[in-house]
Amino acid sequence: MTDENGVTQRLSDAEVYSFALLLPHAGSGTTWKQMGITLAALLARPDLLAAVRDDRSLLRPVIEETLRWMPTDPMFTRWVTRDIDFHGTHLPAGSVLHLCLGAANRDPNRWDRPDEFDITRPPRASFAFGGGAHICLGMHVARAEIATGVGALLDRLPNLRLDPDADAPRFIGLYERGVTELPVVFG
């Protein structure tokens, strides 16, 4: 990688090895949590659930909208490596910076009706998988796993629906978000 000063930096063998060990495990928790969020969003909207059952091409916009609307990782922490003035605020080196990417995904200057779940939105990139040098390398695998998992559940449990006698699913977590439980009935 070449930095902003034109200096080329390469990962050491130890860094490559540790990164390779990280990849198989890094996305598993976030993927199943995002799958739960996607299922909760679908099950709470029976008309949309029926439409997705009938037309699986709708699953992709459902996944993209849940990633924008309720991402598994809405917050990240970064450390400031050098003194910097950022939009009028001085950030000294060593400071801890908490970034709320989930708020960017609901920015009313970028999204119409940002708090609504709407799969008919025109496609637009969100920060659900980060961006730039910090973009999630497993984002395509995560999308495929969510689509495969949700599709398999709809195939195997054609009458899957929220349990009408249970409390509605609750979304919890600031650094890792998910549903507390997803009480369903089928059959």
Residue 115: name the closest of 127, 105, 100 by CA: 105
pLDDT tens, 163-180?
A: 999 999 999 998 889 999
Cα-based distances in Å from 109 to 112, 113, 156, 165 = 8, 10, 41, 39
Q: Please report the pLDDT score of residue 131 as a whole number.
A: 85
Q: What is the DSSP letter of 13?
A: H
Percent of the chain with pLDDT over 90: 69
Phi, psi torsion values for 162, nearest 5 degrees: -65, 145
The model carries a pTM of 0.84
Distance between CA atoms of residues 78 and 187, nearest Å: 47
Domains belonging to the chain, first-starting first, are 13-72+102-185 (1.10.630.10)
pLDDT tens, 38-82?
A: 999 999 999 999 999 999 999 999 999 999 999 999 998 889 999
H/E stretch holding 142 reads: helix 139-156
Distance between CA atoms of residues 52 and 154, nearest Å: 9
Q: Which residues contact 112 (CB under 8 A, 6 or more apart)?
A: 121
Q: What one-character-per-residue DSSP string does 26-45 give? A: HTHHHHHHHHHHHHHHHHT-
Q: Please report the pLDDT score of residue 2 as a whole number.
A: 77
Q: What is the DSSP letter of 111?
A: S
Residue 72: name the closest of 181, 183, 179 by CA: 179
Phi, psi torsion values for 85, nearest 5 degrees: -100, 120
Tokens of 80: 């400031």
CB 177 within 8 A of CB 72: yes
Q: Please report the pLDDT score of residue 94 as a whole number.
A: 95
Distance between CA atoms of residues 185 and 38, nearest Å: 17
Task: Out of 57-66, 90-99, 123-132, pick the least confident.
Answer: 123-132
Classify residue 10 as left (phi > 0), alpha (psi -120 to 50) or beta. Answer: beta
